[in-house]
Amino acid sequence: MPPFKSSFCPSAIKLTGGCAEENFLKYLAVLGARAGEDCVTVVDDGITVTGRVSAWKLLGSVVGAYPAAGAQGDANIATHIDRWLVLIEQALSKGAEDGLSRQMSSALSGQDYLVPGATGATLADILAYSVISNQIYYANNVELWLRRMHKLFN
């Protein structure tokens, strides 16, 4: 995962769920394994979810930062979050955090958070914050967003 500013770094996170979540976890595990990513793994009741984006989405849905299911608006927000998760994963894989910051600047020019229609920070905002927060220079609107995110976590 991206370097979160914390001295606490668990070696394992255990999730529990009922039968309804079992198929979701299995399918998510298949997609992660198919992508060939092995840097992030989440295990739940013997089901292993592999890959950054898959693990991020699963954990984001658990904490309410990623819409698990629901109305049409949730699907639209999830689609926008997914786009940002792919961009964040690419930035981490290629070491291109500056490019991510430029894309964020464009998105934040007309809204408070990365995802249009979101009323608060989403999984995309949380992950982007953890990736770019150590840069030296930011565009003005990214700086304002960083302040909002800093208030959220402190």
Q: What is the pLDDT of residues 98-113, one digit of tens each?
A: 888 999 999 999 999 9
* pTM of model > 0.75: no
CA distance 152 to 154: 6
Q: Is the pLDDT of residue 3 over 60?
A: no
Share of the chain above pLDDT 90, in %: 24
Q: Where in the chain is the domain with CATH 1.20.1050?
A: 78-154
pLDDT of the residue at 57:
85
Most trustworthy range by pLDDT among 12-16, 90-94, 106-110: 106-110
Question: Between 2 and 121, where is the model more confident?
Answer: 121
If one counts every other C-beta atom within 10 angstroms of the C-beta of residue 129, the result is: 22
In this predicted structure, the answer to whether residue 15 has a pLDDT above a threshold of 80 is no
| Tokens standing for residue 86 | 């792919």
Architecture of the domain delimited by 78-154: Up-down Bundle (1.20)
Taking residues 123-141, what's their average pLDDT?
A: 87
Render pLDDT for 26-64 as a digit per residue (tens, 0 to 9).
655 555 555 554 455 666 566 666 678 887 887 888 777
C-alpha span between 117 and 92 (Å, rounded): 26
